[in-house]
Amino acid sequence: MAQVIQTSPRPMTGEEYLESLRDGRKVFFRGEWVEDVTTHPAFRNAARTVARLYDALHSPETREILTKVDRQGILTHKFFAPAYSAEDLKEAAQAIAVWQRMSFGWMGRTPEYKAAFMATLGADPDYYAPFGETARRWYREYASRVLFMNHVIVDPPIDRNRPPSEVRDVYIHVVKETDGGIIVSGAKQVATASALTHGTFVGVNSGSAARLQEGRDEDVALVFFVRMDNPRQYLISRASYELDAESPFDHPLSSRFDENDAFLVLDEAFIPWEDVLIYRDVAKCKRFYADSGFFNRFNLQTTIRFMIKLEFMIGLLQKGLECNGTADFRGNQVMVGELVALRHLLWAIVTAMVSDPEPSLGGSVVPRLEYAAAARVYTNFAWDRIRQIYERILGGAPIINVSSYRDFLNPEVRPLLDRYLRGTGMSAVERSKLYKLVWDAVYSEFGGRHGLYELNYAGNHEQKYLDPLQWAERRGFMQQWKALVDECLSQYDLDGWRDATWVWETNGRER
């Protein structure tokens, strides 16, 4: 990662970003070490997609919307800096939207995702005492270069019925403490887009932290950073949808927006003290996830990202119906209208998150917790409904297509395709292109992975509902809501109304 840091403290360009990935990182794919992810066909187009985001930071058309100078004098992306007002949050939301529209909402873990946490380090670094200087220095480095961080905060789904301290053969834990830092080993998931990042944030999510007990789990109560050139960090990637994409015509999304997920292993990796945030502190591991404001902020990014993706899916569905000649069918309009209403609802929550924030560390503000929790629930289950609507009103239309763009290049079959595969007011090539996009979005391996991602990226299906309930109890909302019921119950009894406002008549007599 050394080549990322330059004497000129400014955001990287796209070219500088690509060069920064050539640092000897250990990415393994199909049994081989990928020495340069920027040129390997499994990663290169996704890397170039991210590079376009960095170029936008310098483009005259977008740089004013995307960047600002923070309170420390650092020129950075607006969401990479702490927010201190509703206006700051509004501008950050606009910056998120500009970046997300460049991939139509199909890349969830672009650089601004982890900015949801990293920016909080600049607001109150001393929250992480005795490692306050770690937070302070990482924020300066991160914000000034607009670094791309991945994160791993989930333990592998192994022996979860046992205490974390008893799964040391798998879970990340301290092996040894030295004068210069710590030696750690273990695995974490899911390192989404990690092959294209500048560093790994290793932490504990709310579900994992809830299982930690003081006096037992200190060796796994850790939060730290790993530089990508750490020789003992291994990223073992899943299959690449980008690699399998035959052409942009056949795979317009997966050929450039595949955020390859990886299984991350640290095998006696040395982590210097200057990269440690929390060390063997169970209480702080339990608190920091909520205290930092990360939860509030990441849901702002994910909701905006999902809404742009939803807008894309609404437009794609409407074009598919028009191609079929069924856009005016009343039942189809009803279902498209449902998605339009969902889009409006979630944008309204975004508006609430930025216009009615709550105080956070160091005098900063973050989106209100209640709004963030609501957005988390409704964005996570929405993809299943989107897919269901596609399947109901597009029917079998997405199946009827050519095997490859090459079919249109065959002079014998081309006239048949032009006649029988055309759409309503649309040529066969245009129809095929449209439905290839539908297939890649909903039914391909890439589309299937997105269905899994949308449902699980923010936690397990139960935790998403348990958190709002627990927070409502902690913040006194449940008591207020029960008090409403108690007030109603207090207004009557067996003898009738206890308040003279109302009249009760029985057997013709007023009581």
pTM: 0.94
* Preceding amide of 468 cis, omega within 30: no
Are the beta carbons of 4 and 12 closer than 8 angstroms?
A: yes
Give residue 4's pLDDT: 43
Give residue 7's pLDDT: 40
In a domain, residue 456? The reply is yes
In a domain, residue 156? The reply is no
Give residue 205's pLDDT: 83
Give residue 478's pLDDT: 96
User: For the chain, what is the mean pLDDT?
Assistant: 94
Going by C-alpha positions, the residue among 156, 92, 99 that lies closest to residue 119 is: 92
Going by C-alpha positions, the residue among 337, 343, 335 that lies closest to residue 379 is: 343
Say if residue 18's pLDDT is above 80. Answer: yes
Say if residue 1's pLDDT is above 70. Answer: no
* Total residue count of the chain as it appears in this document: 511
Give residue 508's pLDDT: 59
| Distance in angstroms (rounded) separating the CA atoms of residues 471 and 476 | 8
Give residue 41's pLDDT: 98
| Distance in angstroms (rounded) separating the CA atoms of residues 103 and 48 | 11
Are the beta carbons of 342 and 309 closer than 8 angstroms?
A: no
In a domain, residue 150? The reply is no
pLDDT band for position 511 (cuts 50, 70, 90)? low
| Distance in angstroms (rounded) separating the CA atoms of residues 314 and 497 | 53
In a domain, residue 314? The reply is yes
pLDDT band for position 221 (cuts 50, 70, 90)? very high
The count of domains in the chain is 1
pLDDT tens by residue, 77-100: 999 999 999 999 999 999 999 999
Give residue 444's pLDDT: 97
Give residue 289's pLDDT: 82
Are the beta carbons of 42 and 237 closer than 8 angstroms?
A: yes
Give residue 505's pLDDT: 80
Going by C-alpha positions, the residue among 222, 105, 255, 64 that lies closest to residue 155 is: 222
Annotated binding site for FAD: 151-153, 192
Annotated binding site: 151-153, 192
pLDDT band for position 207 (cuts 50, 70, 90)? confident
In a domain, residue 451? The reply is yes
In a domain, residue 268? The reply is no
In a domain, residue 373? The reply is yes
Tokens 């065959």, located at residue: 410
What letters, b where the CB count within 10 A reaches 16 and e where it falls short, cover 384-406?
A: eebbebbeebbeebbeebbeebe
The DSSP output letter for 72 is T
For residues 452-479, give the mean pLDDT: 90
Are the beta carbons of 51 and 37 closer than 8 angstroms?
A: no
Pairing relationship of beta strands 32-34 and 27-29 according to DSSP bridges: antiparallel
Q: Residue 270: CB partners within 8 Å, gap ≥ 6?
A: 178, 180, 181, 182, 183, 230, 232
Tokens 């009103």, located at residue: 393
What residues form DSSP beta bridges with 269?
A: 184
Amino acid present at 263: F
Going by C-alpha positions, the residue among 453, 461, 460 that lies closest to residue 193 is: 453
Are the beta carbons of 174 and 217 closer than 8 angstroms?
A: no
Phi-psi region of 436 (alpha: psi -120 to 50; beta: other; left: phi over 0): alpha
Are the beta carbons of 25 and 252 closer than 8 angstroms?
A: no
| Distance in angstroms (rounded) separating the CA atoms of residues 5 and 319 | 46
Q: Residue 459: CB partners within 8 Å, gap ≥ 6?
A: 205, 206, 207, 376, 467
For residues 46-51, give the mean pLDDT: 98
pLDDT band for position 160 (cuts 50, 70, 90)? confident
In a domain, residue 246? The reply is no
Are the beta carbons of 372 and 467 closer than 8 angstroms?
A: no
What residues form DSSP beta bridges with 166?
A: none
pLDDT tens by residue, 391-418: 999 999 999 999 999 999 999 999 999 9
Take residue 96 and report the two structure tokens written for it.
Answer: 């998120």
Are the beta carbons of 38 and 47 closer than 8 angstroms?
A: yes
For residues 178-197, give the mean pLDDT: 96
Q: What is the CATH classification number for the domain harbouring 358?
A: 1.20.140.10
Boundaries of domain holding 458: 294-472
| Cα first-last separation, the chain | 82
3-state SS, residue 460: coil
